[in-house]
Amino acid sequence: MTARVGLFAAILTLGLPVTMAAAQTVMVVKPIRAGTPIAAADLAFGDGTSADGFSDPRDIVGLEARVNLYPGRPIRIRDVGAPTVIARNALVTLVFRRSGLTILSEGRALGRAGAGEPIRVMNLSSRTTVTGVASADGTVAIN
């Protein structure tokens, strides 16, 4: 299995096209805990198919595991996501921009999100729940 992982990492590093049999899917080689970034060395091809799984490892490298991942099980699309920039219960700045007007407020994240992902936040001033989009700098843009 180690030689397979080394070859796999070399293919990703060189940017060579990955070819594989139709009945293979991307799996992890060791258990990965939720919240851990996924590296090329963590991945290998396994036998089997999954309708909502990955067939190209380049689609997974750099993403974060949203759930615990185990060897021998295909990685599904909903199991990974963008690296977390806002953690649950974190204090965040809410930003509302419209026609040259900018309003800033403080809120508490009700979930976790990566850059560009939707997130629910409780506005601490009004105690209302709003939905916005997480930014890479940790702020939440409200539409």
Provide the CA 26 distance to its chain's centre, in angstroms: 16
pTM comes to 0.65
pLDDT band at 124 (very low <50, low <70, confident <90, very high): very high
- Are the beta carbons of 84 and 119 closer than 8 angstroms? no
Residue type, 102: T
- Are the beta carbons of 12 and 40 closer than 8 angstroms? yes
Topology given in CATH for the domain delimited by 84-142: SH3 type barrels. (2.30.30)
Class of the 2-80 domain? alpha beta
Model pLDDT for residues 38-96, shown as the tens digit of each residue: 999 999 888 777 778 888 888 899 999 999 999 988 899 889 988 999 999 999 999 99
Domain ranges across the chain: 2-80, 84-142
* Spatial CA neighbour of 6 closest among 44, 37, 38, 32: 44
Please, what is the average pLDDT of the chain? 85
